Structure 1
Amino acid sequence: MKTFVLLASVLAILAAPLTVRAEQPPILDRTLFFGDDDIAGERISPDGQFVSFLKPYKGTRNIWVKRTGEPFSAARPLSAQTKRPVSGYFWSQDSKFILFVQDAGGDENFNVYAIDPTLAADPATGVPPTRALTDLQHVRTVIYSVPKTKPDIIYIGLNDRDARWHDLYELRLSTGEKTLLRKNTERIGNWVFDHDGTMRMAVRLTATGNKEFLRIDPDEFKLIYSCDVLESCGQSGFDAENRLVYLVTNRGPLNLTELEMLDPATGATTTVESDPQKRVDFGGVILSVADHRVLFTKYEDDGVRRYFKDSAFETQLRWLESQLPGKEVRLGARTTDESLWIVSAHSDTDPGDIYVWNPGAQTLALQYRVREAIPRAALSERRPYHYKSSDGLDIPAYLTLPKGLPATNLPLIVNPHGGPWAQDMFGYNGFAQFLANRGYAVLQPNFRGSTGYGKAYLNAGNGEWGRKMQDDLTWGVKALVADGTVDPKRVGIVGISYGGYATLAGVTFTPNLYAAAVDIVGPSNLVTQLDLMPAYWEAGKKAMYTRVADPTTAEGRSLLIAASPLTRASDIVTPLMVVQGKNDPRVNIRESNQIVAAVRDNGKPVEYLVAPDEGHGFARPINNLAMMSAIEAFLAKYLGGRYQDDVPADVAAKLKEIRVDPLTVSGAVTSKEPGAEPSK
């Protein structure tokens, strides 16, 4: 009898479903996410002789180079920037120079610099000399064209004569000589050059916010195409015959942008393509740099969709994708003859691998793994998530749930993107992964006003800052609470730029929704924000007024005051952290000072970080690490997530340096109207 009972017990155990409890991955060092990459930003020279990339040199991200066939151990540094990391660069068309732009402390007044990679290193710096091609103070340089047929020339804009408008210059790379081609007295925002480097069109932004495409005739501009302030239109290169212009537009009755051909001679347009699935805006036309034929078109949906126009290239790319299963393949820089390409392969749980691809020989050479030290197995799935807003509008979003935890009663971080006329896209997101590793669910909504989903969705955000755009965040929280995924008492919000504004709006207009909030360079007062826009934003000012509200009218000013978090700062009860770059040209430090002082004066908790060497967001890794260690501790305190308690000495010292005592902040308003001057 005992044998039978024992056997029955064993059989019952074997028949029962096995429950394997997933384990939460270990806490990953924040440096893995926010420290300097070992290697990043790889490009290949147009002649294929060199591979260049970004890597720390003397503690700051700089440009390095090696011969294409050499190992990375043979690479040598080309730049020795110490005050600010190099964020991006490009090659001249003849491969003689590497060019990059740099500002001062995040002020976005960029100058252009050139390096000859064949020159020997200066013993004093360890790198070849860097030449300043534009060495100007308080001037912002923009680059319009890098013509293939004129490799010693690039076309740039300088706003040295009038801070609002960029005059057109020809810049000679070998000497730094600048030649003024046109004074910008007609509100020109862009100049359009063809394959031969000939200037064919200008793009004007009118005082009413409309965009006009102008053919450049010998003695005049001729209007050939226009779209109004609530429509989108932009050029995307010339066709293979160098006659017609690719135009992406949603003018007139169109909702989703489509690809059209524009004839500059007549202004006539012909429709080429729109999304076959009728879901998203046109995503781009990819042209051959060798002969300008169309290789494929693409759409950014829940992942990229491609539609090939060249069968030979399709065969080559399909082979490439077959070598990288489960990864999203992105094409990067390529040689002039397209014999070699830089490609990346990534996923939502993989920052990516970088390769050199030879499509003719069908070979693939691994270069490096992006943030190689991050264990891929510890990362969390980031998936599309949809929900309804207050008025029934469908909101597309991305939801990351922490690996190894049941999807119930989780703490949540809402992370609205900046812009707001931008879009969160599918793929690896380091901030979301960092938060998920700490045990938080992360919601990243593409709220109304986001780009990519059509004109109606974009325009649904007009005049809705702090209103329906904010509802789109609130109803995302409600949906996750309703299905049991999220604990309603442990919801936080963290955002940068517009996302920072949405953070402040969240804790003022829905004061009981959030238990912690972090505003990074977000405007608190929409009246002063629009008053203090940089001068070179003049061309887009009317569009900003149309989409937000016009401060020059009584009605618009009233809307801005009502939507300003500063107006209702007394309603803030949520613990708040504010982060600001002192040199921010987009969101003046006054915006942060005002809200910090107001919350302080109301006796509510507020923490304040100000980096003296940063602008609109932090570029220096040491500042990022200091900020993230503070944010991590702040969220853990109020939401209960995990926290890496050890902080390296240099990061701790930097955090001490950028912490500001709220009692020392001047900025409390003396009037109920947020446009009033702050008290001194």
Structure 2
Amino acid sequence: MNQNLADFPLIPRDNLFGNPTKAGGQISPDGKWLSWLAPVDGVLNIWMAPKADPSAAKAMTAAKDRPIREYFWAGDSKSLLYIQDKAGDENFLLYRVDAASGEETTLTPFENTRIRFVGGSHEHKDKVLIGLNNRDPSMHDIYLLDVNSGSLTEKLRNEENYAGFLADDELVLRMALKQNAEGGADFFKVIDGKVEDEPFTSTGLEDSMTTSPAGFTADGSVLYWIDGRGRDRAALIAEDVASGEKTLIAEHDKADVGGTMRDTKTGVVQAWSANYLRREWHAIDEGIGKSLEFLKERLPGDFAVQSRTEEDDVWIIGNDPLTAPSRTFIYDRTAGTLEPFYVTRPELEGAPLVAMYSREIATRDGLTLPSFLTLPPGTDADGDGKPDAPVPLVLLVHGGPWARDAYGFNPMHQWLANRGYAVLSVNYRGSTGFGKGFINAANLEWAGKMHDDLIDAVEWAIGEGITARDKVAIMGGSYGGYATLVGLTFTPEVFACGVDIVGPSNLETLLETIPPYWKPVVKQFHQRMGNPETPEGLQLLKDRSPLHRANAICRPLLIAQGANDPRVKQSESDQIVEAMERDGTPVTYVVFPDEGHGFARPENNLAFTAISENFLAECLGGRAEPVGDTLGKSTAEIRTGKDHVKGLVAEDA
């Protein structure tokens, strides 16, 4: 029977972007406790239950404003640790919750401080190494933290602008790294708490994003590297610490080696992964290989090992069935059993979720862009990944730009497809995971060849009959927001409209206002974007800034910004909105006063999606769930352009 979009119900925004029922499942290292994130009075908090009795669950934290999004078990299983910032300022502090008593302690009680984790230990389960920038916001000093007592012992005062450190299982600092003049990194040995004067190895700019140390084995005899030196795609290398001899462990013909599974006690690599169009795991250890095959045979779609006991006998498995809500399982490797833990969003059971298709798109200069396409339900009768007739398209551009899009369940794709749009996510040049040549092809190409890639992808979609030339929108966050502004200023006739989420409009002021803790790596920004300290570099930054072309904008634009964003300051959005208003160009601008680089509070994320889908419906003609009372539940402030989005004026009244 032929179906069309109208035959499929709207998926409520809340089902995709509201709080999950449960998420972030883990098991304690000793295997006695299960933990997860779940709402308490509408805010995500940490919950815990005995593995032997999951029904005896209790909330362990009481966050009231911002959701807790990242937590982990202390190595001795006596406490749960989490990080939290304030209103999106990214000054993350570390908190401890005692598993027995529920007592909560702030382990890093400092102002304007962002912690970094340096190392944990199988041998010293009650301690971790952390970096603190409370002395100097641009540099992290290294401390040994006793997670039970809260005592901090300074191990190294970072007065030489080191960007990172590596420790062994004894929590002894072994390596420091610093940005060098070439835009790469110098790696220094640390002996008896002192960094040596000369580096033992280095990288230049071309290898800076594909080469990094990946940790020591527990006995300190082997140092692993993800290493792109002397090759295009990063390989897994084992270096004998005593002799310096290096051994190739694994490589992939199309993608960088990405992740590893390590023995929970010895730290020896047992499996590795690479992700070109889809993530692949390759086992080195026979036992790990059998377990991965066991899971592959029983779970549809993709899966990931997200937590392991110290004895490695129980794993927590996240399963992405792709067209159904994600599920989490408890895998007992000894018993050979796979038991359900929870469904993340049970309200999506039976919803008209759609498939994602991987595609390779050729650029005008011969690169291949790994990309991902989702089509609206009812538009692809034969399931070949092409709609039966062209449909409106949203080009969804990832941030970074040194990041990537990947295959799998994507709530943005599902939401937009359900509203009637094809959704195309493109790994344009500069995206990570596809070799250093692909990354370095983007150097000094912001709004240049990086944008050409996006235009080439649009042309591909039109040529394939996926969309029509006058029905393409561009949307994205951070660099994706910048790409949106570039699209509407450098190629103003290509896109029907744009949605910019925390995107910079002025590259010159963006680099002037980067967070202080990014200063140790600022040279890389200069060499990849444009160096404001040289006349040529400064001019390039001006030339590639959408702000200076704001008068070219002739299509509807929605801008969303967090007021406390430390990466892309609110002034980046303010500037271009002011320029558009001076020119009399319509723009809708929404600010969230309690958010940063993105929208963490579900109420605010729901408000943003409500505004966005009604904005897109007016531009492209898709479907939209009414705004309703969504904005009133959020902190959204519509600074201008309320009358350009259906439902906003009525909401205000």
Q: Report the TM range for the smaller structure's normalisation.
A: over 0.9
Q: Deviations over 1:378-415 (max 9, x none)?
A: 11111111222232322221011111025122000000
The one-letter code sitting in structure 1 at the alignment partner of 2:132 is L
- Counterpart in 2 of 1:69? 52
Post-superposition shift, 1:194?
1.6
Candidates 323, 334, 337, aligned match of 1:363: 337
| Alignment partner of 1:226 is 2:226 | no
CA distance 1:237–1:495, shift in 2 (3 Å) = same
For residues 403 and 583 of structure 1, what CA distance do their matches in structure 2 show? Answer: 38
Is 1:659 equivalent to 2:633 in the alignment? no
Match of 1:431 among 412, 428, 441: 412
The answer for the alignment partner of 1:109 in structure 2 is: 91
In 1, the alpha carbon distance for the partners of 2:62 and 2:97 equals 11
- 1:370 to 1:560, Cα distance in 2 relative to 1, 3 A: same
Q: Partners in 2 of 1:655 and 1:604 — Cα distance?
A: 27
Q: CA deviation at 1:656?
A: 7.3
Question: Is 1:558 paired with 2:536?
Answer: no
Aligned amino acid, residue 248 of structure 2? T
C-alpha RMSD of matched pairs (Å): 1.7
TM-aligned CA deviation for residue 356 of structure 1: 0.6
Q: Please tell me whether the aligned partners of residues 429 and 450 of structure 2 are also in contact (alpha carbons under 8 angstroms).
A: yes
Q: One-letter code of the match for 1:205? A: Q
Contact 2:444 2:529 in 1 (8 A): yes
Task: Determine if contact 2:497/2:557 at 8 Å carries over to the other structure.
Answer: yes
Q: Conserved in 2, the CA contact under 8 Å of 1:383 and 1:400?
A: yes
DSSP 3-state at the match of 1:319: helix
Pick which of 310-319 and 326-335 moved more. Answer: 310-319
Deviation, structure 1 residue 180: 1.2
* C-alpha contact (below 8 Å) 2:217/2:266 kept by paired residues: no
Q: Is the 8 A contact 1:187 1:206 kept in 2?
A: no
**Equivalent of residue 60 in structure 1, options 31, 43, 49:** 43
How far has the Cα of 1:376 moved from its partner?
Answer: 4.9
**Offset of 1:327 from its aligned partner?**
2.0
The 2-side partners of 1:173 and 1:603 are apart by 57
Structure 2 residue 220 is matched with structure 1 residue 242: yes
Say yes or no: does 1:166 pair with 2:143.
Answer: no
- Residue 217 of structure 1 deviates from its aligned partner by 1.9
Match of 1:382 among 356, 367, 388: 356
Contact 2:91–2:114 (CA under 8 A) maintained in structure 1: yes
- Aligned: 1:202 with 2:180: no
Cα distance, 1:264–1:539 mapped onto 2, change above 3 Å:
farther
Give how far 1:171 is off: 1.4
Corresponding residue of 1:178: 152
How far the C-alpha of 1:629 sits from its partner, in A, is: 0.3
Which of the residues 264, 270, 290 maps onto 1:289?
264
State the one-letter code of the partner of 1:46. P
The Cα of 1:267 is off from its aligned counterpart by 4.0
Q: Percent identity?
A: 37
Please give the secondary structure, in 2, of the residue aligned with 1:283: strand
Measured after TM superposition, the shift of residue 207 of structure 1 is 4.6
Aligned twin of 1:254: 231
Match of 1:82 in 2: 64
Alignment of 1:482-631 (within 5 A): 482-631=463-612
Aligned 1:635-646 pairs, distance under 5 A = 635-645=616-626
Give the letter aligned to residue 638 of structure 2. R
CA distance in 2, matches of 1:309, 1:587: 42
Call closer, same or farther: CA 1:196–1:33 in 2, change over 3 Å.
Answer: same
SS class of match (1:378):
coil
Structure 1 SS opposite 2:459? helix
Q: Distance in 2 between matches of 1:486 and 1:102?
A: 42
Question: Are positions 1:310 and 2:285 aligned together?
Answer: yes
In the TM superposition, residue 260 of structure 1 has moved relative to its aligned partner by 1.1
SS at match of 1:188: coil
Structure 2 residue runs of 5 or longer lacking an equivalent are 381-386, 643-653
Q: What secondary structure is seen at the aligned counterpart in 2 of 1:289?
A: coil
Q: Relative to structure 1, is the Cα distance of residues 220 and 378 closer, same or farther in structure 2, using a 3 angstrom cutoff?
A: closer
Q: Which residue of 90, 105, 110 corresponds with 1:136?
A: 110
Task: Give distance in 1, aligned partners of 2:168 and 2:325.
Answer: 36
* Residue equivalent to 1:321: 296
C-alpha separation in 2, matches of 1:446 and 1:215: 36
- Secondary structure of 1:592's match? helix
1:31 maps to which residue?
14
Q: Report the CA distance between 1:655 and its aligned residue.
A: 5.4
Structure 1 residue 328 displacement after superposition:
1.1
CA distance in 2, matches of 1:289, 1:197: 16
CA distance in 1, matches of 2:97, 2:331: 26
SS class of match (1:302): coil
Aligned residue identity for 1:286: M
Q: What per-residue deviation string (whole Å, max 9, x for no partner) do you get for residues 626-665 of structure 1?
A: 1110001000011101011253x3x2314574211369xx
User: Which letter does structure 2 place at the counterpart of 1:270?
Assistant: T
1:483 and 1:314 map into 2 onto residues whose CA distance is: 40
How far has the Cα of 1:22 moved from its partner? 5.4
Residues in 1 aligned to 2:35 and 2:269: alpha-carbon distance in whole angstroms? 27
CA distance in 1, matches of 2:298, 2:553: 53
Q: Structure 1-normalised TM-score?
A: 0.90
DSSP 3-state at the match of 1:638 = helix
Please give the secondary structure, in 2, of the residue aligned with 1:47.
Answer: coil
Post-superposition Cα deviations, 1:508-528, rounded to whole Å, max 9, x if no partner, equal 011011111110000000000
Structure 1 counterpart SS, 2:470: strand
- Write the letter of the residue equivalent to 1:256: R
1:206–1:539 contact (8 Å) kept in structure 2: no
Match of 2:372 in 1: 398
Query: Which residue matches 2:312?
Result: 338
**What secondary structure, in the 3-state scheme, does the structure 2 residue paired with 1:350 have?**
coil
Residue 270 of structure 1 pairs with residue 251 of structure 2: no
Moved over 6 A (4+): none
CA contact (8 A) 1:387 1:479 kept: yes
Distance 2:533 2:212 in 1: 28
Greater C-alpha radius of gyration: 1
Contact 1:89 1:101 in 2 (8 A): yes
Equivalent residue number for residue 5 of structure 1: none
Gaps of 5+ in 1: 1-18, 120-127, 664-680
How far apart, in 1, do the equivalents of 2:23 and 2:225 lie?
Answer: 32
The one-letter amino acid paired with 1:244 is V
Q: Distance in 2 between matches of 1:260 and 1:654?
A: 51
